[in-house]
Amino acid sequence: MTRNRNTRIAAVVAFLTIVFVVVPAAISSSGRFDLYYTLTSVALLSIASAGVWLTFYIGRINIGQGAYALMGGYVSAILVMNHGWSFWLTLPVAGLFCAAASVLIGLPILRLRGVYFAMVTLVLTEVARLLALALPITNGAKGIVSIPLPGALSVFGITLIPDFATLQNSRLAFYLLAVTLMVVCFAVMYRLVNSRIGKLCQSLQQNEELASSIGVNIAYLRVIAYAVSSFFGGLSGAIFAAISQSIYPSSFTVTDSVNFMLNCFLGGLGYVFGPMLGTLVLYFGWDLLFQTGQFQLLIYSGLMIVLMLVLPNGLLSLAETARKKG
């Protein structure tokens, strides 16, 4: 037990050292500052994918995370542009707004069986897009543009985070923000999964009727998990809007929702950190396949099918297999 604990601690320290020290140092020395935006996108996509993974954990397939990312982006942009709110205050508000919306949506549809829940969530992203096109407050197809960079964050007169507009390299600042939130979100996920509530959620995967018969409040657990999932989606969407300084109805589509789900499959549904690895591999893998031109989608689809057949438990199952053999 002690050995496993020490191994986990060493892995966490190594990961934090890589993302907060090694990566910025390598980018600074190479001059490839464009990689900050790429890695920031990977971090934010992994946060949204983590939320999708959590709904898988309760035995439900969520293909609507793009809707909450879109809502989070619009909530943050509207509060900043129309009401003069600080970006930092809009982050939790965007997440909570999405969580509240997911509770209203989830209360009726989470009672449905898995396949019906998946079908309903499939249309959520398109519904959110159409609402963004129709509502005056979202400015329709024109979207919301010229969103200012995040200002300074001060507490009791002490500046904790400087104004991004005054920084020489705001891409580094966004990278650190996204990676920090990614670390926090996955830490929360790990703690949740390994808590009493997490064990109860896991029981829903195996046999919902049996879990209900021993007194487990299935509806309550489903709603809580779905709300946390949507909170992560809204949080990532709000930061995406700040990075691009704009938000449009097409900023997140059904394709994005499907990709969030694929990230979980690729990394491993049985592992908390599966969405993180899956997002990294899928993002860079898609870019690498760009060189194949018109065959990009065909090769991509074929590789995904092969990987799911060969590694049904995801890429992280390779590490577990190697550990057992060792």
Section 205-211 average pLDDT: 68
Q: How far apart are CA 322 and CA 110, in angstroms?
A: 38
123: which 2 tokens? Answer: 């249309």
Section 253-273 average pLDDT: 92
31-41 per-position pLDDT tens digit: 888 899 999 99
Residue 326's pLDDT is what? 59
Whole-prediction pTM = 0.93
Helix (H, G, I), strand (E, B) or coil at 73: helix
Query: What are the residue boundaries of the structural domains of the chain, listed by start?
Result: 32-325
Amino acid at 196: R
More confident: 312 or 229: 229
Instruction: Identify whether the C-beta of residue 234 lies closer than 8 Å to the C-beta of residue 97.
Output: yes
Instruction: Identify whether the C-beta of residue 138 lies closer than 8 Å to the C-beta of residue 132.
Output: yes
Instruction: Identify whether the C-beta of residue 253 lies closer than 8 Å to the C-beta of residue 149.
Output: no
Q: How far apart are CA 266 and CA 281, in angstroms?
A: 8
pLDDT over threshold 60, residue 1: no
Instruction: Identify whether the C-beta of residue 276 lies closer than 8 Å to the C-beta of residue 314.
Output: no
Section 139-148 average pLDDT: 94
